[in-house]
Structure 1
Amino acid sequence: MASSIDLHPPIHWGQTLHNVSLRVGLTDVKYPKIDINESSIKFQATGCSGSRGEQLYSFEIELYNKIDAKASSYKISDREINVNLKKNTPDTNNPWPRLTKTSAKLPWLKADFDKMTFSEDESDHEQKKPTFNKNFDDDIYKSFRQDTRRTKPKGLVDLRTNWLLFYNLFQFMAYLWVFTRLMIHFMVNGHLKNGYRIVENPIKLCQSLAILEIIHPLIGFTKGDWLSPLMQFLARNLILFVVINYNHQIKPSPIISYLFLVWSFVELFRYPYYGIRLLNKQSRIITWFRYTLWIILYPLGAFIEGVIIYKSLDYYHSNRYFTVDLPNKINFSFNFALFLRIYLVILPLGLVQMMQHMWNQRKKALIKKNE
């Protein structure tokens, strides 16, 4: 086992009668090179792990036993890389005592005992338990017993999943209500004026609750990045709670309704996508819409936000809202209208970065990875 690169991603491995599984803890994976042969697996990719940011990671593992390379596969998702290695023969009474051929301990390689199952007649309603024989590595067995004591109760895991399902369902239903209410308003009146008055409270509630998408990865409820949700949360709430909320001249304008329609239409596919992933399900239609609609809606939304800010410049310049003038006790000045002008310059740069990020996510989600 050797690697020319010092950075190794965290790996958890497990096994069943017929397969060995590897869970590589990397997000935002780019340029993956994965080579699986009958006796080893080689990996190299750029990605993020923990607080390191984007780095180049690699590993090479010489496997404990030979596998069927042709029947093995891997899948790259937003949160991790899952590798499935097909054993040549089932190991009913002889599970692999370790993943590697040698007994050297690797700090970045750990056993995933939730996936150590060897009994073929286990009930789906019973907790699967690993069976070990005398050949199983003593250190791994001790680690298993310690992990069993430390493992969170199943009820806690179910509570987390149920909460995330509830959150995604609530946000989906709320944005569906906003979108539907604005469309009904348009069909009845033939215009979208005063749309803000109709959906003000639900859209504010949705955008306030979005702070949970920053908290969830920070407390370990999800494995995603917290920085991207933070940037979107700050940008949208600047527009909603500050620029629009205090500008009484622009509130009746139909452009506000256009913005809310774009925001809500994006979320009508984002939250269901997260929901089906929590249920370990897949929907090609929802996935396609989730990673395709943004190509049009993100630039459109950014354009509308820019127009709203531009039309609000004179209002905030003349009324001096959120502006701090000198002299004052803290000897500090702040011109909110100037800040909005600077934000208009930064807005396209942020859009380009977000588009690049989403395009990389789209390639990983919609383009199949083959050996």
Structure 2
Amino acid sequence: MENQVLTPHVYWAQRHRELYLRVELSDVQVKAGSGRREARGIAAPGIHRDPSPFVRVHAGQQKPAVLHNNPHFFIAQGHGAKGDNVYEFHLEFLDLVKPEPVYKLTQRQVNITVQKKLSQWWERLTKQEKRPLFLAPDFDRWLDESDAEMELRAKEEERLNKLRLESQGSLETLISLRKGYLFMYNLVQFLGFSWIFVNLTVRFFILGKESFYDTFHTVADIMYFCQMLAVVETINAAIGVIKSPVIPCLIQLLGRNFILFIIFGTMEEMQNKAVVFFVFYLWSSIEIFRYPFYMLCCIDMDWKVLTWLRYTVWIPIYPLGCLAEAVAVIQSIPIFNETGRFSFTLPYPVKIKVRFSFFLQIYLIMLFLGLYINFRHLYKQRRRRYGQKKKKTH
């Protein structure tokens, strides 16, 4: 004899975005011989009646599958109030819901979660005002609208906090990468300028003044490398990787590279002069303190002796370096005039020959203007670091 078809007890609750149905049916299983069964009831207005608008449980499957949008049909075999029978019910929701709800089967019940099409509070579950007899509120999950709004806000706040923590984690990773990148850059520059400084110092103690005249051929390759790499420092300042102002970095980069690549690099006559030794030695004397200071800053360390040297040693060395550069430019002017290198003649009808020495004279003026700008910048840095504290007035 075929089991009698009955209606199970169904309990419901809602949130702004979801509906919860709890079907009191244990040991849900497939009814023998029931492949598909058309559910009784009327489909929602405006929705085509599908020949299979019902929920069924397949053998070996852990959850049923819904096959309609707005009406909700359930049919399954399990153990309910009337024992082991086929139980089914039909609900026509008050508003549209999303297809494919989530089901969870336990030994004692079937839990169904249905997503609403629109996030809003429903005054009731079904279109019919009178509540079906088998349907009752699920007081274990029941919340009033105000309580549900508080729960929704709490979930949203929890989601935002999670996103905030994730963004902070990403920010910390970026900061670590930035520090690692700057540490390696400063380390490479420190090693390069240290090699130049030590090489020139040792050669001077061994050879004396004779070491002045082959300085370029001894250390020029490393100096080329360090000064080309210094372009990265100006780019870092321009894009905000470091807090240094762009103008002082750019002035130092252009000034040094002009001396190195134009004055020394293109004129062999200048490469054997003693001024090359003083220019290179003074450049490296500043950098062997500056770059290790920045290295320690990357790992949040402060060595007071090194910090003092970084903010003090430039006071005598920086003007001397600019003076050595000016001497190099002055010594190169006769050589450029004699060779005519980089000189040119203006086109007809002017036909005036413009000597490169004219630009070198302008450069001398700009050199001391750059000295003033950078000296002022370095002085402000030192004053912020070691400025006199205001005396307390009694």
Write the letter of the residue equivalent to 1:348: F
* Paired-residue identity, %: 31
- The residue aligned with 1:239 is 259
Residue 367 of structure 1: how far off its partner (Å):
2.7
One-letter amino acid matched to 2:304: R
In the alignment, is residue 307 of structure 1 matched against residue 327 of structure 2? yes
Q: Which has the greater radius of gyration?
A: 2
Q: Is this contact kept in 2: 1:174–1:202, CA < 8 A?
A: yes
Query: Among 193, 197, 209, which residue is 1:175 paired with?
Result: 193
Contact 2:263 2:270 in 1 (8 A): no
Q: Give the distance between the partners of 2:259 and 2:371, measured in 1 at CA.
A: 15
CA RMSD of aligned residues (A): 3.0
Deviations 1:216-251 (A, max 9, x none): 133332232222111110010000000111121121
Matches within 5 A, 1:217-232: 217-232=237-252
1:161 to 179, 187, 192: 179
Q: 1:275 to 1:355 in 2, by over 3 A?
A: same
* 1:292 maps to 2:312: yes
Measure how far apart 1:154 and its partner are: 4.0
**Deviation for aligned residue 1:277:** 1.1
Note if 1:337 corresponds to 2:357: yes
- Tell me if 1:359 matches 2:389: no
Q: How does 1:142-221 map to 2 (within 5 A)?
A: 147-151=164-168, 152=170, 154-191=172-209, 192-221=212-241
Per the normalisation by structure 2, the TM-score is 0.54
- Cα distance 1:350–1:198, how it changes in 2: closer, same or farther (>3 A)? same
**Structure 1 unmatched ranges of 5 or more:** 1-137
Task: Indicate conservation of the 8 Å contact 2:286/2:314, yes or no.
Answer: yes
Structure 2 counterparts to residues 1-371 of structure 1, below 5 A: 147-151=164-168, 152=170, 154-191=172-209, 192-327=212-347, 335-367=355-387
SS at match of 1:194: helix
The answer (yes or no) to whether the contact 1:255–1:308 under 8 Å persists in 2 is: yes
Q: Distance in 1 between matches of 2:380 and 2:224?
A: 30
Deviations 1:88-136 (Å, cap 9, x if unpaired)?
A: xxxxxxxxxxxxxxxxxxxxxxxxxxxxxxxxxxxxxxxxxxxxxxxxx
Is the Cα–Cα contact under 8 Å of residues 287 and 365 in structure 1 kept in the other structure? no
C-alpha contact (below 8 Å) 2:296/2:302 kept by paired residues: yes
Count the aligned residue pairs: 235
SS at match of 1:193: helix
What's the counterpart of residue 67 of structure 2?
Answer: none
Q: CA deviation at 1:153?
A: 5.5
Q: Tell me which of the two structures has the higher relative contact order, counting C-alpha pairs closer than 8 angstroms and 6 or more residues apart.
A: 1
Cα distance in 2 for partners of 1:257, 1:307 equals 12
Alpha carbons of structure 1 residues 166 and 188: separation in structure 2 relative to 1, 3 Å: same
In 2, Cα distance between the equivalents of 1:179 and 1:221?
Answer: 28
- Could you tell me which amino acid in structure 1 is paired with residue 260 of structure 2? L
CA distance in structure 2 between the partners assigned to 1:251 and 1:265 by the alignment: 20
Match of 2:71 in 1: none
How far apart are residue 356 of structure 1 and its match?
1.6
Structure 2 unaligned blocks of 5 or more: 1-154
What is the rounded CA distance, in whole Å, between the counterparts of 1:143 and 1:272 in structure 2? 41
Residue 270 of structure 2: SS of its match in structure 1? Answer: coil
Residue 325 (structure 1) shift? 1.7
Structure 1 length normalisation: TM-score?
Answer: 0.58
The aligned amino acid for 1:184 is V
